[in-house]
Chain A
Amino acid sequence: MNQIILSLITGIFISAIAGYIGSLMITKRMALVGGPLGHLALPGVALALIYNFGIFFGALLSIAVGAFFIWLFSLRAKLPIESLTAIVFAAGVAIGFLFLPLSHAEEALIGDITRVNLFDTILAIFLSSFLFIVIRKIYSKLTLSEISEDLAKSMKIDVRKYNLIYLTSIALVAAMEVKIVGILLTAALLAIPAAASRNFSRNIVQYSLVSVLVGSLSAVAGIFVSYEYGLPAGPLIILISFGIFLISLIPARKV
């Protein structure tokens, strides 16, 4: 199949799900979480590039190991999770750079969607669709728990369970994102479309929908520009969504 079609399909699905879950992340004020998660992926991405297996699996493995260490340290250290995350992700990046082959550095750092294969595309379609169904199920419950956790608990909503599902989904989305925007820009794909959408929207339905649209539109435009001018797609996608964010500031007003 034509490479550009594979790139487009993969890009649309991953950016769409990133936009969707990103809207929930902004609601929960966790817009930056995608950053450290992406960085945590580096050692795994390096391994995948050396041994030539899927970047997604390398990224996911290394995010899981990183999350495990954060959890392990949290049992021993009297530090907030946020500080432990900073420590673990810095160590992850350092380890990754020790053996990341220089010839592949660009692909690892800012992604390369022009090199996706059919398997990557099918994985992106299925995993994104599955995550969409999952997030849709937990979306309103997590929104309510953000308004008041006590209120959600009093309505017998198991907030801890839903948070775990939500965090696992973010890790999966971040791992998929590495393919298109690399480890450096994962936070951007999660945060910017949602932030732009926040400025356009007056209710949850509009908010999540516009966020998905901004994400996928940026991906399509970024990939086309990339093919046309031979520039890397990842940064282009992010810059285009940033452009939409700037436009969204025009009608935005604080409630």
Chain B
Amino acid sequence: MTDTILKVKKLSVNFGRDIILKNLSFEVKRGEILTIIGPNGAGKTTLLRALLNIISYEGEVVWKDGIKVNYLPQRLSKEKFSLLPISVREFFKFKKPSEDDVLKMLKEVGLEKRVLDKNPAELSSGQFQRMLIAWSLIDNPDVLLLDEPTTGIDVSGEETIYSLLNRFWKERNLTILMVTHDLNVVYAYSTNCLCTCKERVCYGPPKKVLTPQALQRIYKTEIKFYKHTHR
């Protein structure tokens, strides 16, 4: 049995006279991985912010009652942390978990106890991103909203992040909504894909809807993407 946990109907967002999102409708069912793709300025981050109700919008965004939604914004950079005297332990304390839970969670993302006393900015980019994943999962959300979770990480680090997310998705019955630029990730992991360029261009399982024509409509240029079929 699948149940719908998010219904979005005719969502529009305007900043003054600029139309950022227009008439977007889609649904997310429990256990889905929905990837959101589109060119720069297509309103992907704005979409996540509207779903979280932190900006005003027109239309309907309805979450199922009692659903816990966690968010990892894109601009959560190490630089921000380097300006603050804050330890990883204190960063986790914002969510009030027990120290045991924090250690367990860190272990699950492959981080050792000694990172607890470090400033998040002292971690490597890959460690930092894994720490953030652990942080976003520590209070057991039903849904995770991720905005380009691998910005600034090298290819092998990227692979680790996505396989970690995939593992947690399976183990914890998570629902994931993720903005990404990486079409490989879209094909490999997502159950559904939403392509936007202010309006909805395509929506559905990636292998079905991400046709060369759709990609051309989104990115306004011809994308030659080789679909790996051996996975």
Contact = CB atoms under 8 A, between A and B. Distances in A.
A249 interface: no
5 contacts: A140-B94, A146-B84, A155-B94, A204-B85, A254-B82
> Which residue among A146, A201, A204 has the maximum number of chain B CB atoms within 10 Å of its CB?
A204
Say whether chain A's binding surface is mostly helix, strand, loop, or mixed.
Answer: helix
Given A27-B84, A143-B84, A204 B90 contact: yes
Interface stretch (B117-125, B179-187, B193-201): B117-125
B87 A151 contact: no
A140 B93 contact: yes
Contact of B71 (A146, A150, A203, A254): A150
Given A147-B80, A151-B73, A207 B93 contact: no
A207 B84 CA distance: 9
B74 to A, nearest CB: 9
A154 B84 contact: no
Interface string A133-163: 0000000100110111011011100000000
Given A147-B76, A150-B73, 7 more contacts: A147-B80, A151-B72, A154-B54, A154-B70, A203-B87, A204-B90, A255-B121
B73 A148 contact: yes
Contacts of A206: 85
B75 interface: yes
Q: Which of B52, B80, B86 has the most CB of A within 10 A?
A: B86
| Overall SS of chain B's interface | mixed
B89 interface: yes
Given A205-B90, A255-B82, A150 B54 contact: yes
Given A204-B90, A255-B119, A198 B85 contact: yes
B49 interface: yes
Interface in B22-74: 49, 52, 54, 69-73
Contacts of B86: 143, 203-204
Interface string A19-49: 0000000010000000000000000000000
Contacts of A148: 73, 75-76, 80
Nearest to B72: A151
Nearest to A159: B54
Interface residues of A, number: 22
A202 interface: yes
A153 B71 CA distance: 10
Contacts of A150: 49, 52, 54, 71, 73
A73 B211 CA distance: 55
A201 B90 CA distance: 13
B70 A255 contact: no
Contacts of B145: 154
B122 A255 contact: yes
B84 A147 contact: yes
Interface string A204-235: 11110000000000000000000000000000
Interface string B115-149: 00101011000000000000000000000010000
B219 interface: no
B98 to A, nearest CB: 17
Nearest to A151: B73
Given A144-B94, A147-B80, A153 B52 contact: yes
